[in-house]
Amino acid sequence: MHRVSSLQTIAIQGRFGADKGAPGVTLSVVHPLAIAMVIARNGKSKALKDALASLKSVNVLWAGPDQYYVQSAAKSEAALYTELKTKLANIASVTDQSHGRITIRISGPKARAVLAKGTPIDLYTDEFPVGKSALTQMAHVGVHITRTGKDEFTLSVFRGFSESFWEWLTSQAAEFGYQVS
């Protein structure tokens, strides 16, 4: 069955905002993406870390104390959930979040400048290196942010907030010019 992103009709491709020179940022919706939330059972922090490290073709992102988002673009949501349920039995609780969250990628020389308007987190590379995740708020919306490159981040929000968050994000990006791809 074909899954439709909650930003399908909102994130229209093209060039927007300031139109002089190269766009300051590029925005794209990461879809479809299988996402599972994994929370360690009492006393199983270490066991969970080890089990997660042995998984293949997945991204494991910190999402709170003893909590992680496991993501995969290669696996179907059912396959990812079933695999985690089996491999993490008695170690962690697993919840499918594939339909619950939407992930937006922001990249480009002005990515940090755009995000700095919304979050109090220090996004300087030394403080927030590639691979690091954090939980914060932007425009009153809970955001899970991960640095995926020097000038590249992914932002994950509850799908119910995706439209208003997109509106806020594009407003902040407009002064630098942005490309939706």
Partner 1 sequence: MLIPCPHCGTRPVEEFTFLGDATVTRPTSLEPSSMDAWMDYVYLRDNPRGDYTEYVHHSGGCRAWLVVKRNTDTHEVDSAVATKTMKAKT
Name the residues that contact partner 1, by CB under 8 A: 64-65, 120, 134-137, 142
Least distance in angstroms from the C-beta of 65 to partner 1: 5
Cα angle for residues 104, 110, 115 (degrees, 5° grid): 55
Question: Is 42 buried (19+), middle (13-18) or exposed (0-12) by CB count in 10 A?
Answer: exposed
* 3-class secondary structure, 155: strand
Nearer to partner 1, 16 or 62 (CB): 62
Least distance in angstroms from the C-beta of 46 to partner 1: 15
Nearer to partner 1, 63 or 180 (CB): 63
Q: Is the dihedral of CA 113, 36, 129, 46 positive or negative?
A: positive
Nearer to partner 1, 11 or 63 (CB): 63
Least distance in angstroms from the C-beta of 55 to partner 1: 23
Instruction: Please tell me the distance from the alpha carbon of residue 128 to that of residue 150, in angstroms, as a whole number.
Output: 10
Nearer to partner 1, 95 or 137 (CB): 137
Least distance in angstroms from the C-beta of 20 to partner 1: 35
Place of tokens 């208003």: 164
Query: Is residue 169 within 8 Å of residue 117, measured between CB atoms?
Result: no
